[in-house]
Amino acid sequence: MSAQTAADRSDGPRSKRRVILDAAIDKFGRDGFEPTKWASIADEVGIGQTALYHYFESKAHCLLTIMSLELERSLSKFTIATVVAPDHTGRLRAAVAGAYDVSPREALSARILLAHTDLLATERPARREEAERQRARTLVRAIEDAWASMAQKGMDDGIFAQRDARQTSFALLALVNSVWRWYRPDGSRSLAEIAEFIADACVRLVGDDPAPASER
């Protein structure tokens, strides 16, 4: 359901858009965005340069599209994962679990998004790039709002400690997202283990400060 995004809906049955995006995710995610030649995506998918430019006006346009689709997925996942949670702590845990309930390609997308967030800070020269950047920025704000609202509600009900909800949400998202920087599918830690470690860390983060005890 969450895969049924605005971008997907614009694809006709013979559209190569999704195939190009998948090939680009694999290349950008494994080899890096900068070293990947845009023409190599066309070769990968078996289409010509002209057809490639029909879908994306540049490599950056494709990257920005991957980023906003990943943000859409992340927001959908948050919404679905948290809607049935029984209480505030359960909702926070469900949000974290949802963030790591991803396919290998979604994990690559999350990694690409994290590595290129700075691209969202400055205006793009090309029209379609700029439109996709604006879309991504709107989604980033919506995700931050969703996490801040979750934190605020837990504070309002006295379950989470009273703090700045916005700054708390940045800290929670930092913990959750930073994993994509080092996570590798063939690494020593499974996503399930990581999800539990980070969920526990997030619960401590919204909890009370420990009493200042002398260490001596």
Residue 19 in contact with its own copies, rule: CB under 8 A: no
Distance CA 171, CA 175 (A): 6
Binds its own copies (CB under 8 A): choice among 12, 13, 103, 215: 215
> Given candidates 46, 87, 156, 187, which one binds its own copies under the rule CB under 8 A?
87
96 in Cβ contact with 176 (< 8 Å): yes
Binder among 46, 48, 187, 207 for its own copies (CB under 8 A): 207
User: Does residue 189 touch its own copies according to CB under 8 A?
Assistant: yes
> What residue type is 167 in one-letter code?
Q
In the bound state with its own copies, the residue whose beta carbon lies nearer, of 68 and 168, is 168
Among 54, 116, 137, 153, binds its own copies (CB under 8 A): 116
Q: What is the DSSP letter of 210?
A: P
Q: What share of the chain is helix, strand, coil (3-state, %, to 5)?
A: 70, 0, 30
The answer to whether 186 contacts its own copies (rule: CB under 8 A) is no
| Nearest-angstrom CA–CA distance, 134 and 183 | 28
* Structure-block tokens of residue 83: 């809607």
Is 203 a binder of its own copies (CB under 8 A)? yes
- Window 33-72: residues binding its own copies (CB under 8 A): 33-35
Query: Which among 28, 24, 25 is positioned nearest to 42, based on CA atoms?
Result: 24
Residue among 77, 51, 58 nearest 126 (CA): 58
CA atoms of 62 and 107, how far apart (whole Å)? 17
Residue 159 binding its own copies, by CB under 8 A: yes
Indicate which single residue of 2, 49, 138, 164 sits in contact with its own copies (rule: CB under 8 A).
164
# of chain residues touching its own copies (CB under 8 A): 47
Interaction site with its own copies (CB under 8 A): 31-35, 86-90, 115-119, 121-122, 157, 159, 163-164, 167, 170-171, 173-175, 177-179, 181-182, 189, 194, 197-198, 200-201, 203-205, 207-210, 215-216
